[in-house]
């Protein structure tokens, strides 16, 4: 599996050219993309500026000598490469397994070409087997938890080292065990209007291309979403 992720990450780096502003994703597959960008800067003198989606990726980029800017220092991003936890037939996805969904969506929004790199196990017909992360403010988080519980969404607070996990933006994550999300676009809109929800892990109709690594090689799937 790790080898598949590496293949997908390296393939995605081919879409990065000199002079670009590049969004660097977070997670186990995006890790290999970032490593390849670092190699190209070192060995091929690739000239790019990067924006990162988490403190973990920022540390990796600095270690590799990748020049960084903050999201507020750039007007737009040429290409962003990130991972995904699930991708459905309509190119909707769930992200946030690594806890960086808010920063990932902030970086994805001004991106001209948005690419996901995944192994074939992440491709599904319908979203929902992977728990849907919902980032919430700490104040009133219990109220939101009970609301989700009453709605039948089977919520659980994400934990790390026996304590509630706190994101880079100092929020909690409530994971929803939905089983199947029949209408991800509509459900995303529902969550958008819940007070106290900062962001959710439904990345609906945002991606332009999905690079899928599998036992039969690399497949490149292109979305037909409207620009």
CA 178/CA 153 separation, integer angstroms: 6
Q: What is the DSSP string of 137-206?
A: -STTHHHHHHHHHHTT--EEE-EETTEE---TTS-EEEEE--S--S-HHHHHHHHHTSTTEEEESEETT-
Q: What whole-number distance in Å separates Cα of residue 145 and Cα of residue 148? A: 5
Q: Is the pTM of this model over 0.85?
A: yes
By percentage, how much of the chain surpasses pLDDT 90?
93
pLDDT-derived band of residue 227, with 50, 70 and 90 as boundaries?
very low
Average pLDDT over residues 154-160: 98
Q: What is the pLDDT of residues 126-150, one digit of tens each?
A: 999 999 999 999 999 999 999 999 9
Strands 217-222, 209-214: parallel, antiparallel or unpaired by DSSP?
antiparallel
Whole-number pLDDT of residue 2 = 86
So which residues are the catalytic ones? 104
Instruction: Inform me whether the pLDDT recorded for 180 exceeds 60.
Output: yes
CA atoms within 13 A on the CB side of 84: 35
pLDDT bin (cut points 50, 70, 90) of residue 1 is confident
């Amino acid at each position: 599996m790790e080898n598949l992720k590496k293949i997908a990450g390296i393939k995605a780096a081919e879409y990065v050219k000199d002079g670009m502003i590049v969004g660097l994703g977070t997670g186990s597959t995006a890790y290999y993309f970032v490593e390849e960008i670092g190699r190209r800067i070192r060995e091929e003198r690739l000239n790019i500026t990067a924006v990162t989606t988490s403190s973990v990726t920022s540390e990796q980029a600095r270690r590799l000598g990748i020049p960084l800017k903050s999201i507020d220092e750039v007007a737009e991003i040429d290409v962003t490469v990130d991972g995904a936890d699930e991708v459905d037939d309509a190119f909707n996805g769930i992200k946030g397994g690594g806890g960086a969904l808010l920063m990932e969506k902030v970086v994805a929004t001004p991106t001209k070409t948005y690419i996901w790199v995944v192994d074939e196990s992440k491709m599904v017909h319908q979203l929902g087997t992977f728990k849907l992360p919902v980032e919430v403010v700490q104040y009133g988080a219990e109220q939101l938890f009970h609301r989700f519980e009453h709605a039948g969404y089977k919520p659980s607070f994400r934990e790390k080292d026996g304590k509630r996990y706190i994101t880079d933006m100092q929020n909690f994550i409530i994971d929803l065990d939905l089983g199947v999300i029949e209408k991800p676009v509509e459900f995303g809109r529902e969550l958008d209007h819940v007070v106290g929800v900062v962001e959710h892990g439904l990345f609906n109709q945002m991606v332009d291309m999905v690079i899928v690594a599998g036992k039969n090689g690399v497949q490149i799937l292109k979305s037909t979403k409207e620009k």
